[in-house]
Chains A and B, each alone.
Chain A
Amino acid sequence: DAMVIQNPRYQVTQFGKPVTLSCSQTLNHNVMYWYQQKSSQAPKLLFHYYDKDFNNEADTPDNFQSRRPNTSFCFLDIRSPGLGDAAMYLCATSRGSTVSNQPQHFGDGTRLSIL
Chain B
Amino acid sequence: DAKTTQPTSMDCAEGRAANLPCNHSTISGNEYVYWYRQIHSQGPQYIIHGLKNNETNEMASLIITEDRKSSTLILPHATLRDTAVYYCIVRVADTGNQFYFGTGTSLTVIP
Q: Which residues of A contact B (CB under 8 A)?
A: 4, 31, 33, 42-45, 48, 50, 55, 90, 92, 94, 96-98, 100-109, 111
Contact = CB atoms under 8 A, between A and B. Distances in A.
A94 B97 contact: yes
A22 to B, nearest CB: 15
Contacts, number: 64
A106 B45 contact: yes
Q: Which 6 A-B pairs have the closest CB atoms?
A: A106-B43, A101-B93, A42-B101, A103-B46, A108-B43, A106-B44
Contacts of A4: 43
B91 interface: yes
B58 interface: no
A42 B104 contact: yes
A39 to B, nearest CB: 11
B65 to A, nearest CB: 20
Contact of A45 (B44, B99, B102): B99
B91 A109 contact: no
Nearest to A4: B43
A57 to B, nearest CB: 8
A31 B96 contact: yes
Given A43-B101, A104-B46, A109-B42, 6 more contacts: A42-B101, A44-B101, A90-B43, A103-B49, A105-B46, A111-B41
B64 to A, nearest CB: 14
Nearest to A99: B93
A100 B93 contact: yes
B93 A48 contact: no
Contacts of A48: 96, 98
Nearest to B98: A45
Contacts of B101: 42-44
Contacts of A101: 32, 49, 91, 93, 97
Interface in B67-107: 87, 91, 93-104
A75 B94 CA distance: 24
Given A31-B97, A55-B96, A94-B97, A103 B102 contact: no
A79 to B, nearest CB: 23
A4 B94 CA distance: 22
